[in-house]
Amino acid sequence: MIDNQKFTDWIDRWLRNELTETERLEFEALRRSDPVLAQRALEQQQLVKAMKNYGQRTDFRSRLNRIHANLDMDCVREEVNQLSKVRKLHRNGGTIRQLWQTYRPILAVAASVALITTFGTLMLIRQYQSSHKQQEQYSMMRRDLQAIRRSQNAILQDLNARERALQINPGQVAGSGFLLSPDGYLVTNTHIIQDADSVYIQSTRGDIYKAKVVYADNKYDLAILQIHEDSSFRVKAALPYGFEAAPSDLGERVFTLGFPREEVVYGEGYLSSQTGYRGDSTAYQVAISVNPGNSGGPLLDEKGNVIGIISGKQTSSEGATFAIKTDYLFRAISAIPTDSLKNNSIRMSRKNGLAKLARKDQIKKIQENVYMVKVFKHEK
């Protein structure tokens, strides 16, 4: 067993590389064989190293202090001044960069807040809009309730563009109408001739007659027109179709003629309900496809009886067209003050001469009595 002091001495000499070759071999062998001695060697090595580091740093510090003491501080200050001048010049270009570096975290927070606010607002607006849309739909329904007929999406044909091209008085509406009696009384929808300055009717042949509004019934959306003192209008002996006031049955095949465009258009369908829009008992629901301009056209059954007057359709569902029942046409007519008729009562026939004809022949006869109603208004 080697004594502690001697071993310590050996470590010192080992660290200083002063061991002879034999001593070194013996020392290495000792370290390998005895972990306690190895540990002591390691600790002493650490200690000496720490001391050396200490010495090195102390020495370096005193060197630095010596240099600093010999430093010409005025000269250094002068140089610092120059530097800060240069930096100030430099800074003029770099102010933004510097501000950016200083306030970058704040900017980041501000930017995120802005983003969140923006998208939050957008989402809120979208939500509000969608809920608002529902409200609009709802209020539309309410307006429908208040004035049911108007709500039925009056089928009007807006001729604005076309007639403006013809340089005629703008603000026109067109619909359909048909003869009630051979002497020139016609029926159409009130919504067509509303606010009209003048009303003209045009036959399928292109003849145009001036008409006057004899009576306008807002309740049933029915208006009675009379061809106005026009000698060219040829009074007919009788109308080919009759009027059927009795309610028709569901499933009845029906057809209509109207003017969704300049030409008369035929449409076919069936009676789908005894009541109209929202249970309106004055109208039928008909599965027939109509377009703006069909309003005021006759609705005829298989045999050629007029059973209604096309008045509107429901936009939200396909093939739901409404026609005012003929019964209410009679009621409207009977409500006309006798003055306005100038003592000429409207002679409506219930006789029907079409019953046994094929459809195309029926149409041929009917279409002569169906007119396009053109309405001229003051532009509001």
Partner 1 sequence: MTESNRSHLSDDQLLAGLANGSDAVLEELYKRYFPMVMNLILNNSGTEDDAKDIYQETLIVLYEKVSRDSLELHCQLKTYLYSVSRRLWLKQLSTRNRNGNSLWDTDERADVDDDLTDHEARDRQFDLMADSLDRLGEPCRTLLEDFYIHHLSMQDITEKFGYTNADNAKTQKYKCLMRLKRLFFSVFKEE
Report the interface residues with partner 1, using CB under 8 A.
4-5, 8-9, 12, 16, 43-44, 46-48, 50-57, 60-61, 63-65, 67-68, 70-71, 73, 76, 79-80, 83-84, 87, 90-91, 94, 97-98, 101-102
Q: How far is the CB of 113 from partner 1 (least distance, A)?
A: 21
Q: How far is the CB of 57 from partner 1 (least distance, A)?
A: 6
CB count in 10 Å sphere of residue 256:
27
What's the alpha-carbon Rg for the chain, to the nearest Å? Answer: 52
- Label residue 199 exposed, middle or buried (CB < 10 Å: 0-12, 13-18, 19+): buried
Q: Answer whether 201's CB lies under 8 Å from 211's CB.
A: yes
40 or 219: CB nearest partner 1 = 40
Q: How far is the CB of 68 from partner 1 (least distance, A)?
A: 6
67 or 237: CB nearest partner 1 = 67
Q: How far is the CB of 77 from partner 1 (least distance, A)?
A: 8
What's the token pair of residue 271? 């009676």
Which letter does DSSP use for residue 295 in this model? T
12 or 207: CB nearest partner 1 = 12
Relative to beta strand 242-243, strand 305-313 is parallel
Q: Answer whether 328's CB lies under 8 Å from 306's CB.
A: no
Q: How far is the CB of 34 from partner 1 (least distance, A)?
A: 18
96 or 358: CB nearest partner 1 = 96
Q: Find the helix packing angle between 35-69 and 4-15, rounded to 10°.
A: 50
97 or 142: CB nearest partner 1 = 97
Which letter does DSSP use for residue 63 in this model? H
Write the Ramachandran bin of 120: left for phi over 0, alpha for psi from -120 to 50, otherwise beta: alpha
Q: How far is the CB of 63 from partner 1 (least distance, A)?
A: 6
7 or 328: CB nearest partner 1 = 7
CB count in 10 Å sphere of residue 13:
15
